Structure 1
Amino acid sequence: MTSRRSFARAVTRRAAVVVFSAAFVLSLPGCGEIGNSTAPVRQSAADGSSANSDANPRSDRPATASRDRRPRKNPESVDEEFRARPLKQLSPQQLDEGWVELFDGQTLFGWESANPSVNWRVEDGAIVAEAGGPGLLTTFVACADFELQCDVRLERGGNSGIFLRTPARPRNPSVDCYEWNLCDSHDAFPTASLVGRRAVHGVRIEDDRWHTCRIRFQGPHLKAWIDGRLVTDFREAAQSAGFLRRGFIGLQQNRGRVAFRRIFLKPLGTRPLLPEHGLEGWRIVPGSRSRFSIEDGTLAIDGGPGYLQTKGRWADFALQLEAFVDGARLNSGVFFRALAGTQDAPANGYEVQIHNGFYDGDRSRPVDAGTGAIFRRTVARWVVPDDRQWFHLTLIAVGDRFGVWVEGFPVTMWQDGRPDDPNPRRGRRLQSGHLILQGHDPTTHVRFRRMRIADWSVPESAVGAQRRND
């Protein structure tokens, strides 16, 4: 949450549903024939499109002529459809390694469908579909370099696949996505092939049985395993017209019943942000009252208000860190795509909230939006961490879409639909900006460690070809 000086400016955001639609057809032979139509799986989020949204971040006066001065705050809870208690599918070791859940095992939170005819749903802890295809179920946020793991089960004669770095509406898998096929009966591109790019023969998966698939995609190099056996090893020239740097991950139903479960993701290519000692690479924002120190790679922030800003800037990225709140219901935050902090405007950026409080023993009703919310824009659907315990947090920001995971559990998925503005408090900012860590007030005692980031921005020379995949 922002400092007390700016708390009165918090704006009301009604709980909303982000709705997306698409219609697409894929023409190459193979599992890539994608169905048509438009109805999506809905996403829970808070609406950030108000015209009054923080137009003057140093004043509580609305941006418009409205004289409505009623108190404003975040919504207190998310839609009932997406309320879910974390199942803790990941081990402590997996959390330390950076894994997050793409599928919470209970709801379709964080997924979208562009073909309403496909009957995607959750049954017995798995995402399943068997009719209405071809069609994709895609992640809410795009990814660049990652490792993906999931279990898949396909009925006899079934046809499915996993789409990588794909747009919402792929049309040609040799150009606008990477389609990793799951179809033993396909003549040209059977199981483990990349449709339109690389045929693999001799790999079969037993019908009506769970198989563990793992895909590692870093830069132009893709490797995939089924049940521990390496089945795909593909490297594309980074300069080729078909090379894509990022995009969504999609599950396909083409023919027959398919089920996916235990769908996990680990961002790759992260680099550390915290030195072992000192504040190299960081800048204390003028006017800060917090005390900042780093010892053995752990950053301590005590007191406040105060702000510590990176010297580096990032636009699209995956950020991972561990945090520790040393007190009951204390407040902090991680700002991103922020303008350089000044004494008068110390933290003009998007903010991932850190506040582990919740109302009446109900973790689905967070205090001050809750840890993992995009403060002023969304509310976390579950307060996962406890005070005085280390917890893991992951933020993926690509384009105007943001996803946040706490202890590997997805708590926020939000798309900024506001008009563009250089200041994220007033509107959508797609350009790079700083990270800023917050000491909220004199009671703040928070620690950060193992903070690391992967730059997923697309080089300027490739922006035009890549834009359709975001």
Structure 2
Amino acid sequence: MGPSSRTILTATLVVLSTLRSITFAADEGWVPLFDGKTLDGWKVRGGFATYKVEDGAIVGSTAVESPNTFLCKGDYKDFELELEVKCDPALNSGIQVRSHVYGKDDPDPNNRQRAGVVYGPQFEIARKDTGTAAQVYDEGRRGKWLNEIKPEAKDAFKDDDWNHYRIVVQGDRYRSWINGIAASDFTDPMDDHGFIGLQVHGIAKDQGPFQVRWRNVRIRELSADEAAAPKPPEGFRAIFNGRDLTGWEGSPSYWSAEDGCLTGKADGTLKFNRFITWREGLVKNFELRVKVKVSPTGNSGLQYRGTERPDLGESVVTGYQCDVVANRPDYNGMLYEERGRRILAHTGEQVVIDTQGQPWVTGTFPLKDFPAGEWHDYRVLVEGNHHRHWIDGHPTVDLIDLDEKGRKLEGVLAVQVHVGPPMKIQYRDFFLKTLPDDLTLIPPDKAPIPADAPKVAAQGQDKPRAVDSK
């Protein structure tokens, strides 16, 4: 949802001269949780750390030997939450969501003994070198991390500075961004509602005092069927809005917007592969990031620099493809050329395609398995004639294409449903970054092929490669 022309008052009206607050646009549905002046509507739970308002921010201060303390408000189910936080580097803090407090009348006697203790999912606030900021911990209950943080977010936290957190909780899905960088994305069915809480962590008597500050705290409740608008990383734009197929063209027999995802389905009767094509431009040099989930029998692909071929059938696109293959690890993430040179690089291969169009294996990566039916982060980076693919931060392909006749430097972007067994493919958080058009092509003398390099095994002649041991 785009910003309106009006702006709301920010939670920070008076700041230190060296700091600037961020003014949020008055988007429809947003409600401030903190008015910048008082703690009206908030309640302290868990411990005896203190909270006050100072310079338009909530300031939490440690108390020696206090257990973890939380400033709590509301009861929320599905929502989008944004705030800024600044924390002393020596202090650990967090943002509770869908949280609760144990009561004296709890049916579990163990929980009755913990009456007054706050429990529930917590988005971590911690100094940069921990690499855990915006990761999610189950506070006061299971006592463990609920997810792995994305590698690119591990150093996103800024010590001794304000940090912007965005949290989206909907259904059983939890997501977070820190300073615009996606950090967490996982599912957990345990809680479906609860309060928001701002934590001051307990300290020992020989530590502190420390402080943590919050400002510009606002929330937007989501309906059960409303998708939170995807927010891209810096420099990227969202090319799928999470609601409908605006900007895309493909047959509604196969493609729809479902559960906030670009969804493709095939019933097993396809005679040829079908595509849905992005209609808002061509891609040349770019970086693409997207979350992908494929069914156990599924086969799909991210088509780029493609050519539309209506002469071959409805919604046919040829060209480069980052494969999405459920049941063969050495195909999942490979570089394939649809209706062209076919397999250019298996997953786990570094490849140079010579000037005559022959691909040669010049190096390898460890081969990993990325289970079907789960969400995985796919990344495609194409610069001139240099192509690279990743899944969940792990490199799958690194290829240099020296074949001037066979290669293509610009074309359409599309995604695929494949012939074969019934399948379902879903894409979400679809982000594109356009790179300069004039990037230098790698010449043959800069991409040597070792004399002992093997040829890339042709399709039909390639034996499945075993996953490397961890």
Q: Name the TM tier (shorter chain).
A: 0.3 to 0.5
Give the strand-richer structure, 1 or 2: 2
- Give the alignment's TM-score, normalised by structure 1: 0.34
Of structures 1 and 2, the larger Rg is shown by 2
- Give the alignment's TM-score, normalised by structure 2: 0.34
